[in-house]
Structure 1
Amino acid sequence: MNETLQHIVKHSFMYGAVLSQPMIMPSYILHDLIEAKEFPRYGEHSERVQAIQKKLYDFNFYHDDIDGDFGILTEYAIKQFQRKNQLPTSGILDDDTVHMMIEVEMDQYLKKIEQLSEKIYPGLQSEDVRKTQEILQFFGYYHGHIDGIYGPLTTEAIQRVEAEHHISLVNVHLQQPLKKVHEKKKKEKQQLKQSTKTNESNADSQEFKKAEHTIPPSQPVATTQSRSTKIIQTAQLYIGTPYEWGGTTPNGFDCSGFLQFVYQTENIQIPRTVSEIWNFAEPISAPSIGDLVFFETYKPGPSHAGIYLGNGRFIHAGSSRGVEISDINLDYWQNRFLGAKRIIQ
């Protein structure tokens, strides 16, 4: 998983204390599950099952008593969660499902922070400050008492979030709110989608005319199309390769490690991280085969990318199933699509 997800796992607090907080889920248990690779199974009765039920309840998948009994209703809720997040619908808790729970919870808390950030300021004592502290504690940024007082520790925690995610959280006192940042990004996405249809045909014709006038007809040329074909052929050879955080080899890839490896097979050097690749590549109005498509997943800005295959499909190293082909028209990807770029070398 990404750095933020690792940060959450590493810095989550002991579940006993966290469970007593009304907004915070017991993620310490999830940390134990991921580390030990030992997950609750059907028929188990335990506090860790209770923790899973509480998460599924807040995700609006579980609607029964939070009693710690792993029965039919808990299994059904897990299946619904897996189906919603494009995981195998087995009803069995596994590494991918638990990681996805943390990621979904992370998204929820970031949205909640966005709302709360406009209501708090240094020196304030309120319920909104207390909720903000709880969320910051969940992410591992706040290390003080949950007292509802916006003091130095709360300020320090917010500044750490801003520095790590390159965002602004609190209005007036610490810069513009995250809400405005999100609205700006949404507006940019809408403008990009609107301009795509009108620019696509013009861009294609201009590229054709440019090639027609600059390349002598008799001269053999290795075209961009042939290079792109080789790139996607190479990429497809590794379908099924497992996801591995920091992975850059066929033993395991993360998303940017997969892109870098594939491009290196064509002697094309690209940066290591998604954000660096985004800045390195050239923007285009719409993707063609072999171009890169970028998504905003766990934090503002580009955080996931894949290689466009045409017909709305792209290949990427996903955290759940490793290297796979996905449909860019699915709601999950459409809602997170940032744009397409091309590697020019």
Structure 2
Amino acid sequence: MLNGTVESIAKNTLLYSFVLSQPFALYAGAYPIFENKTLLEAEELEYGDHGEAVRILQYKLNELSYYDDKIDGELGVLTEHAIKKFQRDHNMTITGQANKETIYALIEVEIEGHLKRLENLSGSVYPGLHSEDVKIVQESLQYFGYYEGEIDGMYGPLTKKAIEIAEEKHDIDFQDEAPQQSFNTMYESERQQAAAATQTSTKQSSIKQVQVQGGNSGIIQTAYAYVGTPYVWGGTSPSGFDCSGFLQFVYNTEGISIPRTVTDIWNFGSPVGSPSVGDVVFFETYKPGPSHAGIYLGDGKFIHAGLDGVEVSNMYTSYWEQRYLGAKRIGE
């Protein structure tokens, strides 16, 4: 299930209890982050299933022009057909079942649509401003459950409050950064959390079975010891890591000095054609070029500091595979 951002929102906004108490028709599409949470918790929806998660699935498919029948919460023939069309168009295995990969893909397409709108932002927003830019900002804040007012394009008290909450939760500053950059950071958080929910949980015992050669054994064992450590933006210690802070800490513990940022680690390492256990694997996430990295464990798995904390992920899920840039070896 989604953690991090979603759970913190649920604890800090009245919207969560409001959404749960209202008929679906009243809030459908207004608070996508809560809809995403419901879908990802469902894990898999198939023919014959019914309920709130199916209604949300039908709504999203309808918004993307794959489903044009009644949104009734019943996964019947037409809903199954819509799922198959979506899977076909996105090069997925065509099953008619909405598994986690399919659900995440729906969320990804939805996010891409929101980001496309952000390209229309012309400048900064500030209290008192009444403009189309403010309306776009309000819609993006509403996506995360921070904004609960009318989408009216007026930067008033509710918009100001929503921005302040978003800034605190995501460590961003709408005044110092362009709004588009700030929202890219927020949407990337949502992307990574949704991606994490599609991955099969990896137990500690499975990591211990990885055969490690030579000097890399200490690196893997050290990295493994911190599974579950929370994600902290800028974190470099066992109280909390970001992705590059985690890598630097692990390598420093083993007596190897590496740079602090993902980009510098990318430039520091020696390129390899395919990763071996202990190599660093890199991904392009919220900006062009290497922006996320982890330590390769073998069998397509890597350990990294994701937004749900230090965890093991599979490189071959749809999210990570399409963002993989390459691997580098440290110490050669």
TM-score, reference length from structure 2: 0.55
Indicate whether 1:175 and 2:177 are aligned.
yes
Indicate whether 1:24 and 2:20 are aligned.
no
Give the one of 243, 252, 266 matched to 1:283: 266
Corresponding residue of 2:71 = 67
Aligned residues: 266
Give the one of 54, 57, 66 matched to 1:49: 54
Counterpart residue identity of residue 178, structure 1: Q
Indicate whether 1:77 and 2:28 are aligned.
no
**1:106/1:45 Cα in 2 relative to 1: closer, same or farther (>3 Å)?**
same
Match runs of 1:1-345 below 5 Å: 3-4=4-5, 13=16, 14=19, 16=22, 19-20=25-26, 24=30, 28-35=34-41, 37=42, 41-43=46-48, 48-60=53-65, 62-68=66-72, 69-82=74-87, 88-116=93-121, 118=123, 120-162=125-167, 164-165=169-170, 169=174, 173-178=175-180, 243-244=200-201, 249-250=204-205, 266-268=217-219, 269-270=222-223, 273-277=242-246, 281=258, 282-284=265-267, 287-288=271-272, 289-290=275-276, 291-297=279-285, 302-303=291-292, 305=294, 307=296, 315-316=301-302, 324=314, 326=316, 333=321, 336-337=323-324, 340-344=327-331
Supply the distance in 1 between the matched residues of 2:50 and 2:300 (Cα, whole angstroms).
Answer: 42
Contact 1:125 1:150 in 2 (8 A): yes
**1:96/1:47 Cα in 2 relative to 1: closer, same or farther (>3 Å)?**
same
Supply the distance in 2 between the matched residues of 1:135 and 1:54 (Cα, whole angstroms).
Answer: 19
Supply the distance in 1 between the matched residues of 2:115 and 2:214 (Cα, whole angstroms).
Answer: 34
Could you report, residue by residue, the CA deviation over 1:24-67 in whole angstroms, capped at 9, with x for unpaired residues?
365545534544x486542456665342122123345x142343
Corresponding residue of 1:216 = none
Supply the distance in 1 between the matched residues of 2:45 and 2:28 (Cα, whole angstroms).
Answer: 23
Could you report, residue by residue, the CA deviation over 1:232-281 in whole angstroms, capped at 9, with x for unpaired residues?
xxxxxxxxxx634xx67236x8xxxx99x999971124575424246664
Contact 1:292 1:341 in 2 (8 A): yes
Could you report, residue by residue, the CA deviation over 1:149-175 in whole angstroms, capped at 9, with x for unpaired residues?
212432343344455445565xxx543
Contact 1:315 1:323 in 2 (8 A): yes
Counterpart residue identity of residue 243, structure 2: V
What displacement does 1:84 show?
Answer: 6.1
User: Cα RMSD (Å) of the superposition?
Assistant: 5.1
Supply the distance in 1 between the matched residues of 2:96 and 2:110 (Cα, whole angstroms).
Answer: 19
Supply the distance in 2 between the matched residues of 1:292 and 1:107 (Cα, whole angstroms).
Answer: 28
Counterpart residue identity of residue 175, structure 1: E
Q: Please list every run of 5 or more consecutive structure 1 residues that lacks an aligned counterpart in the other structure.
A: 183-241
Look up the SS of the partner of 1:293 in the other structure: strand
TM-score, reference length from structure 1: 0.54
Q: Please list every run of 5 or more consecutive structure 2 residues that lacks an aligned counterpart in the other structure.
A: 185-198, 224-235, 250-257, 259-264, 307-311
Counterpart residue identity of residue 53, structure 1: Q
Supply the distance in 2 between the matched residues of 1:298 and 1:19 (Cα, whole angstroms).
Answer: 33
Supply the distance in 1 between the matched residues of 2:144 and 2:127 (Cα, whole angstroms).
Answer: 20
Q: Which has the higher contact order (CA 8 A, sep 6+)?
A: 2
Could you report, residue by residue, the CA deviation over 1:50-106 in whole angstroms, capped at 9, with x for unpaired residues?
42122123345x142343353333213323444666765432234454355445434
**1:84/1:305 Cα in 2 relative to 1: closer, same or farther (>3 Å)?**
farther
Q: Larger radius of gyration, structure 1 or 2?
A: 1
Could you report, residue by residue, the CA deviation over 1:171-203 in whole angstroms, capped at 9, with x for unpaired residues?
xx5433435998xxxxxxxxxxxxxxxxxxxxx
Supply the distance in 2 between the matched residues of 1:84 and 1:317 (Cα, whole angstroms).
Answer: 31
Contact 1:115 1:179 in 2 (8 A): no
Counterpart residue identity of residue 204, structure 2: T
Supply the distance in 2 between the matched residues of 1:33 and 1:264 (Cα, whole angstroms).
Answer: 43
Contact 1:76 1:91 in 2 (8 A): yes
Supply the distance in 2 between the matched residues of 1:181 and 1:130 (Cα, whole angstroms).
Answer: 14
